[in-house]
Amino acid sequence: MNKGKVYLVGAGPGDPRLITVRGMQCIQECTAIVYDRLASPRLLRYAPDHVKRVYVGKLPDRHTMKQEDINQLLVDLALEGHTVTRLKGGDPTIFGRVGEEAGLLRQHNIPFEIIPGITSAISVPAYAGIPVTHRDHASSLSIITGHESPDKLDVSIYWDKVTNATGTLLFLMGVAKIDYIASQLMKHGRSSDTPVALVRWGTTPEQETIVGTLGTIAEQVVTAGFKSPAIIIVGDVVKQREQLQWYEQMPLFGMRILVTRARSQASEFASLIEDLGGEPCEFPVIQVKKSSQPEQVKAIEQHLLQAERYDWLVFTSENGVNYFFDWLKQYKVDIRRFSGAKIAAVGPKTSDALNERGLIVDHQATRYDAEGLVETLEQFATEGQEMLLPRGDLARSVLPVQLRAKGIIADEITVYETTVAVQQEPIVFDWLREKHIHVITFTSSSTVKNLIKVLEQGGIEDPIALLKQYPLASIGPITSNTIRECGLEVTIEAEEATIESLTAALIQYRGTLAQQ
């Protein structure tokens, strides 16, 4: 049996964009991926669909899998011939127990690589506006574990040497010992006025920062109910936060937003959310694919081969454009055969998709839905003209019915199908149960209905009751109606049926919350 190989990869502190290029390569090329709670589940979307996924998440008070079992799991997967990527939060060599995992791999003669990551010791303070060194305040730093019991801390830490050895002291995992740590530092020479900051869940929407001094910080932590995981920063560099904090001031900071769009379409929305300081959680509940029903395929062929007869090509979605051209290619129909047809589109994204293919839209709806498209076409189309409507199988009947009522021949072809997505990350179900999601977004009626189905399939007994606990954001009135028909309430609705408008509505909602 051929042995596999194991890559021990630092996943960074939480923000998935902080993964290294080499780390990303390991995710993309593995056949098995082992991850825990400190590694962003968004990184998993870069792994191929066939990859075996194993969650070994750990919490301070609950261990899903013991470290010894994780070590053995890596060995077992490699012996099965897998190329394994072990995602570890932060950097694997800084209190990441990588030595234990690598040591067992070495005992079994399994090849491995250690891929450094961006450590939380540096990145988390940076996201809180605290540089760990500063020309005027600190030219050196120490990274110290704060996880041990006080007696063990005294054995592993030489307080008389560490206290004043460097300008900045960084304690990882020391929240529960903050009183003892502060006392020891003051006992060995640090002033009680020394600035201290604790940053919890840094680089994520839950990031929270407390600033005090060695003399006050322990009481502040207790009063605030401040819990791990957090980084403790001791030193004058903490003063820089007043003018350098940036992440917590971004428009969507503090919001983890569930994106239910198809995986192929989610990246644009996710990027907008990220750029504004939010964290998109991609949870695709719809899957779009080329039509496969024989009667649909036959109809597509028949209508495309009569291209010259059409006075209009009418597109109601970006998907409709993309799959229409796929069918043209399959049947070797030259787009120039539609030279006598004018082109209409439901909205700017659909128009952009056509423009990218060298086609200029003659008329775009002023309101981005079927009703708005009917209103636009009424101004320019005449009775007896023939229109071809490339659409999806779940498209509403409003457009063709109203066009036919006005004497227009409207031929529909179903160029794509929408089905329930079958692959979601298990951790997202936990996040929904534990209310780690802050807003759920819907970009179509099918995302509403399919999310309910996916939640049921994922073991949620009462999806409606679960969804009632969340603010729900809708891309427009049609989607909002579907949300209400399912017994739910709409909290946020975009002014226009576009991703940009939905994003703007999320920003407005976030601003309202901040003022409360």
CB count within 10 Å of CB 499 equals 21
Q: List per-residue pLDDT tens for the chain, 516 residues long.
A: 578 999 999 999 989 999 999 999 999 999 999 987 767 778 888 898 889 998 886 544 445 678 888 999 999 999 999 999 999 889 999 988 899 999 999 999 999 999 999 999 999 999 999 999 998 889 999 999 876 666 667 677 889 999 999 999 999 988 999 999 999 999 999 999 999 999 999 999 999 999 999 999 999 999 999 998 899 999 999 999 999 999 999 999 999 999 998 877 778 899 999 999 999 998 999 889 999 999 999 999 999 999 999 999 999 999 999 999 999 999 999 999 999 999 999 999 999 999 999 999 999 998 888 899 999 999 999 999 999 999 999 888 999 999 999 999 999 999 999 988 877 777 788 889 989 999 999 999 999 999 999 999 988 999 999 999 999 999 999 999 999 999 999 999 999 989 999 999 999 999 988 877
- Tell the CATH topology of 122-248: 3.30.950
**What is the DSSP-derived secondary structure letter of residue 335?**
G
Model pLDDT, residue 61 = 46
Give the three-state DSSP class for 229. Answer: coil
Residue extents of the structural domains in the chain: 5-118, 122-248, 256-285+421-515, 289-420
Catalytic positions are 36, 58, 173
CATH number of 289-420: 3.40.50.10090
> Right CATH number for 256-285+421-515 from 3.90.1310.10, 3.40.30.160, 2.60.120.10, 3.40.50.10090?
3.40.50.10090
> Of 483, 481, 472, which Cα lies nearest the Cα of 505?
472
Model pLDDT, residue 334 = 96
Q: In what order do the strands lie in the sheet with 279-282?
A: 279-282, 256-259, 439-442, 472-474, 492-493
- DSSP assignment of 448-487: HHHHHHHHHHTT-S-HHHHHTTS-EEESSHHHHHHHHHTT
Token pair recorded at residue 399: 């457009």
H or E element at residue 353: helix 348-355
Model pLDDT, residue 152 = 64
Query: What is the CA 262 to chain-centroid distance, rounded?
Result: 13
Domains 5-118 and 122-248 agree in fold: no
Residue-wise burial string across 80-109, b where 16 or more C-beta atoms lie within 10 A, e elsewhere: eebbbbbbbbbbbbbbbebeebbebbeeee
Token pair recorded at residue 354: 């056509």
Instruction: Count CA atoms within 13 Å of residue 384 on its CB side.
Output: 0
Distance CA 153, CA 124 (A): 23
- DSSP assignment of 279-313: EEEE---EEEEE---HHHHHHHHHHHTTGGG-SEE
Domain 5-118 has CATH 3.40.1010.10: yes
Model pLDDT, residue 59 = 46
Model pLDDT, residue 310 = 97
In the numeric block, the tokens 């949870």 are attached to 283
Strands (E), 64-193: 83-88, 112-115, 141-145, 168-172
